[in-house]
Structure 1
């Protein structure tokens, strides 16, 4: 996006509060994140919205992060009927049954260690890249992993906000 005002940002700014809240919740399940973005409307540009998203993400507590992660299915098991989940996890769609089974096992080990799903910005990644990432990250400390998750959520939120502005906010 550019620094100029776009039709997408004008549409988002004009949404009634309930519709904007719902649209933001679709981008990120953290109510604290959504509330912070909602409170700063109207946005002059898409870049201003992204900057507000980044700032809100940086302020999320551990509980807020847990709420945000609860909105994400495990890698390799997108939410049935959810086009966003399927699109974002496209790299696992053509994975072999062996890789899918390996990801399930790694997801469970990760969840046992950290208490939440393995979260990665999966857009554009292959199944093998996601497997390699979980294998690497499972060695992180809980503090390291919390900050990695925060960074990955920030990337996901930017992608989803971009799509929201490009596709409209019906």
Structure 2
């Protein structure tokens, strides 16, 4: 059985016009998993920066009044009204949100959201489950310290999580739903609800229990990925050669300041595209081999007059992490670079 949807359907899942058009063009889909796989490819590889911002801006923001007392009351009423109207929330989640949405906490949340938007230029997006207003506020404050380019990537990841769950609702709304969605629901049964919080506006995503995850869905992308952002230009870095290697030898890991006992073994290579993303560096496998990995970037070719002829990022994947995803980006300028572990 195939599932066919139009642009409006996909626009209800993600506010990016390009995302909706490309998903509609790819329709029909054989299964829900097939649609999610395509959606991730479209969102991370086809939708540009403007499309990401368009999707972010599609989320409503509340509490935009001048008088503090009015803002607090408007925020509280907005959240309560939405929670009571949304049938996707369980009674437990409703009680948690309602019990913790005090006037003072919502006032502070509204103020911090305004700071966040002033710094980053877009609304605050987060995934949460049964979290109190104070917990949400704490996360907002923590992410506020991020550099804009890092926070932009995090927000895009959060948007994709929200989109994935809205796609699940879209598929489940059709009659004679395929077994693929049933399997997905079972796999997600023990996973946290994903909720979009935009400046104090709580957006529930699905009714799933908060028990520990006991099932790992199959991967839809390689276990190790990367991208490069040119922070000096404020844009993706295209055309950078990327090399992935793993340490192999009598020593389980390379020793700092010493040589011998092993060598770096080639795993894959690629070149960053117009969005700064590398191609496939590893095969798509459920379990990645634990070990020490190194991603190297030919930065000297990209910035001939820069300080770094090349940059290598070394990281470890442990036995307990072999089913996790490792996104290791490079934030580059002519005289500095940094990285972090993404998702």
Q: TM-score, normalised by structure 1?
A: 0.77
Task: Identify the range of structure 1 (51-60 vs 68-77) with the bigger mean alpha-carbon deviation.
Answer: 68-77
CA shift in 2, pair 1:143/1:168, >3 Å: same
RMSD: 2.9
1:157 corresponds to 2:149: no
Higher helix proportion: 1
Instruction: Work out the CA distance in 2 between the residues paired with 1:128 and 1:56.
Output: 35
Aligned equivalent of 2:56, options 69, 90, 97: 69
Q: Which residue of 2 aligns with 1:29?
A: 15
Count of aligned pairs between the two proteins: 154
SS at match of 2:146: coil
How big is each residue's C-alpha offset from its partner over 1:75-114, in whole Å with a ceiling of 9 and x where there is no partner? Answer: 7656x77956x95x96644411111111101100001101
C-alpha separation in 1, matches of 2:170 and 2:107: 33
Could you say which structure has the larger radius of gyration?
2
- Name the SS for the 2:59 alignment partner: coil
Query: What is the aligned partner in structure 2 of residue 97 from structure 1?
Result: 103
Query: In the TM superposition, what is the alpha-carbon distance from 1:124 to its structure 2 partner?
Result: 4.6
Assess, with a 3 A threshold, how the Cα gap between structure 1 residues 114 and 121 changes in structure 2: closer, same or farther: same
Contact 2:7 2:23 in 1 (8 A): no
Q: CA deviation at 1:130?
A: 1.8
Contact 2:7 2:20 in 1 (8 A): yes
More strand by share: 2
TM-score normalised by structure 2 residue count: 0.40
Q: How does 1:76-155 map to 2 (within 5 A)?
A: 92-94=97-99, 95-122=101-128, 124-155=130-161
Q: SS of the residue aligned with 1:109?
A: helix
**Which string of whole-angstrom CA distances, capped at 9 and with x for unpartnered residues, describes residues 20-52 of structure 1?**
211111111101111121111111110010111
Residues 74 and 119 of structure 1 are in contact (CA less than 8 Å); yes or no, is this contact kept in structure 2?
no
Contact 2:22 2:42 in 1 (8 A): yes
Q: List gaps (5 residues or longer) in structure 1.
A: none
Greater relative contact order: 1 or 2 (C-alpha under 8 angstroms, separation 6 or more)? Answer: 1
CA contact (8 A) 1:121 1:153 kept: no
CA–CA separation in structure 2 for the residues paired with 1:57 and 1:123 = 24
SS in 2 for 1:117: coil
